[in-house]
Structure 1
Amino acid sequence: MIMEELDCLGLKCPRPIIELARRIDTLADGDQILIMADDPAAGPDLVAWCRMRGHELVSSDPPRFVIMKRS
Structure 2
Amino acid sequence: MSESSTGLQPDQILDASGLHCPLPLLKAKQALAGLAAGQLLEVRASDAGSWRDMASFTQQSGHTMEARTQQGDGYIFWIRKAGDVRP
Q: For this structure pair, what is the TM-score category when the shorter chain's length is used for normalisation?
A: over 0.9
Match of 1:16 in 2: 24
* Higher RCO (CA-CA < 8 Å; seq separation 6+): 1
**TM-score, normalised with respect to structure 1:** 0.92
Structure label with greater radius of gyration: 2
Where does structure 1 differ by over 3 angstroms across 4 or more consecutive aligned residues?
none
Alpha-carbon RMSD across the aligned residues, in angstroms, is 1.3
Letter in 1 for 2:45: A
Unpaired runs of 5+ residues, structure 2, are: 1-8
**TM-score, normalised with respect to structure 2:** 0.76
Unpaired runs of 5+ residues, structure 1, are: none
Q: Distance in 2 between matches of 1:2 and 1:29?
A: 13
Q: Percent of aligned pairs with the same residue?
A: 25
| Alignment length (residue pairs) | 71
